[in-house]
Amino acid sequence: MRGRPFMRTIKWKPMDPSLLRALLLALFFLAGALAGHLCAVSWDVSAQNAMSGYLADYCSVYDMGGVTVSLGSCIALYFSYVTLAFLLGFASVGIVLIPLVSGIFGFLTMYTISGFVCCFGRPGVVLAMGALVVRLLFTLPCFFAMAGAAWPLSTELSTLSFGHGRRSAPVLYGSRYFLIFGLCVVILAVGVFCERLLTPLLFRMALESAAL
């Protein structure tokens, strides 16, 4: 009895589209993060001095027990990316803009972290984490969940807009799409509360640890 060749016994399964989209969005985020780091380390002396002065004032305000971010600014920082991804799910241009938003998110995040490092050296990593860790714990998962749900819908709209899907069924926005957005809103609202409560404490602890 002849056995089948080994390679014929291997069945290659196609990659889950949702996983592929998540990987692509993560790659855009990482590409933006790399660009943010390169932009921060390319500062000239005058720009670095100006940023060092700004961050020193930022640190001193927290050191005195103040809170620099207003409630309105905090809400904008938490909800902007998720809300934008949600709205882009209703536009054909979202096929391009959703990955771009992911890249911008990565750019600004790493630009901030690299700014602390360029100004304060290794202690800057601790300071950056004290300032950003709470926000990123809430905003990153919510953004990728919302963007992952919005991107295929905007892709379908783009296909219809360019005439390749005239005979296709219309794009349907099921309850799952709105449920994801609603859950993100609840989670981010909790995140805003935690930001106001915990970030000043964490940042003052980071200042003490960095001994600036």
pLDDT, one tens digit per residue, over 4-43 is: 554 454 555 666 677 888 899 999 999 999 999 999 888 7
pLDDT score of 173: 82
pLDDT score of 121: 81
What proportion of the chain, given as a percentage, has pLDDT over 70? 74
- What sign does the dihedral 56-60-62-66 (CA atoms) show? negative
Is a pLDDT exceeding 50 seen at residue 118? yes
pLDDT score of 61: 58
pLDDT score of 6: 47
The structure's pTM equals 0.83
Q: 152 vs 17, 18, 25, 159, CA distance in Å?
A: 9, 9, 12, 11
pLDDT score of 73: 86
pLDDT band at 57 (very low <50, low <70, confident <90, very high): low
More confident residue, 32 or 156: 32
Q: What value does the mean pLDDT of the chain take?
A: 82
CA-CA distance, 6 to 9, in Å (whole number)?
Answer: 5
Mean pLDDT calculated for residue range 120-134: 87
* Structure letter (DSSP) for residue 6: G
pLDDT score of 188: 97
Task: Tell me the range of 61-65, 100-104, 126-130, 171-175 where mean pLDDT is highest.
Answer: 100-104
pLDDT score of 77: 92
User: What contacts 113, CB < 8 A, 6 or more positions away?
Assistant: 37, 124, 125, 128, 132
pLDDT band at 143 (very low <50, low <70, confident <90, very high): very high
CA-CA distance, 55 to 65, in Å (whole number)?
Answer: 16
Is a pLDDT exceeding 60 seen at residue 110? yes
Mean pLDDT calculated for residue range 143-160: 91
pLDDT score of 119: 79
User: What contacts 170, CB < 8 A, 6 or more positions away?
Assistant: 160
Phi first, then psi: what are they for 163, rounded to 5°?
Answer: 85, 0
